[in-house]
Amino acid sequence: MKTTAVVQLYQAEMKDPILIEGLPGMGHVGKLAAEHLLEKLNAKKFAEIYSPHFPHHVTVESDGTIRPLKNEIYHSQVDGKDLLIWVGDVQPAQPVGHYEVVQRVLDLAWEAGVKKVITLGGFATGKYSSAEPRVIGLGDDEMVEQAREFGVSVEAAGGPIIGAAGLLLGLGKLRGMQGICLLGETHGMLVDHRAAKLVLQSLTGILGIKIDMLNIEERAKATEQLIEKLQKEMELREINAERREDLSYIG
């Protein structure tokens, strides 16, 4: 394989479809949100993506069988809306691979009639916090203003949006597509269902659809409990470190 291959599995008539991306990233926030959406919408696999730019290994399934790494795009119709949802095992390992894969996905989306793109991900804070994380929206003015109605904050300035979540918006804009990236605040080193739940709530609000949130809400509570435990451990370590410092001055 010398180049990225996009295998479309069937033809579908779509009206103003919206492309949603949720690949692995910080805290797996986008991946968790997108996969929950797929599960609740009973979406049908629309295309598979294979690329030499994916990491050089295969995935081992629970029954011991193996398969190549891949991305997938699913199609769902809900409340009169067509959604194309991009999920997958991995993102490309190098910048050139990111550009190639994103361009191929945009080719497919363009042919399907996509004019809006929503990407999902995590905004790494490096902190464990029991406070409810924000969902940050970055993108076109019109979509950002719409997102504010659903609790999305706007970050005035910040670092780059790395990977597919950013490139889809930037390269899509060159094709006249509107876009927004929804980022849930997360530590960055923790699989974060709590942030994923809040991103998903913002996403469904923007889309104007309703889905069952029970499973992700239960997992979000487990994440909250883990964060509280980690916070207490960090506080205890800091107290012990201060005590050791104080003792070093005695004698």
Q: What is the pLDDT along the chain (251 residues), one digit of tens a residue?
A: 899 999 999 999 999 999 999 999 999 999 999 999 999 998 999 999 999 999 999 999 889 999 999 999 999 999 889 999 999 999 998 999 999 999 999 999 999 999 999 999 999 998 878 888 999 999 999 999 999 999 899 876 667 899 999 999 999 999 999 999 999 999 888 888 899 999 999 999 999 999 998 888 888 788 778 777 777 776 677 777 666 665 555 55
Please name the fold of domain 5-247. Answer: Rossmann fold (3.40.50)
Per DSSP, what are the bridge partners of residue 183? 121, 136
Distance CA 70, CA 49 (A): 6
User: How many other β-carbons are positioned within 10 Å of the β-carbon of residue 22?
Assistant: 31
Residue 159 is predicted with a pLDDT of 72
Q: What's this model's pTM, rounded to 2 decimal places?
A: 0.88
List the domain boundaries for the chain: 5-247
Distance CA 118, CA 20 (A): 5
Q: What is the 3-state secondary structure (H, E, C) of the chain?
A: CCCCEEEECCCCCCCCCEEEECCCCHHHHHHHHHHHHHHHHCCEEEEEEECCCCCCCEEECCCCCEEECCEEEEEEEECCEEEEEEEECCCCCCHHHHHHHHHHHHHHHHHHCCCEEEEEEEEECCCCCCCCCCEEEEECHHHHHHHHCCCEEECCCCCCCCCHHHHHHHHHHCCCCEEEEEEEEECCCCCCHHHHHHHHHHHHHHHCCCCCCHHHHHHHHHHHHHHHHHHHHHHHHHHHHHHHHHHCCCC
CA 110 to chain CA centroid, Å, is 21
Q: Cα Rg for the chain, rounded, in angstroms?
A: 20
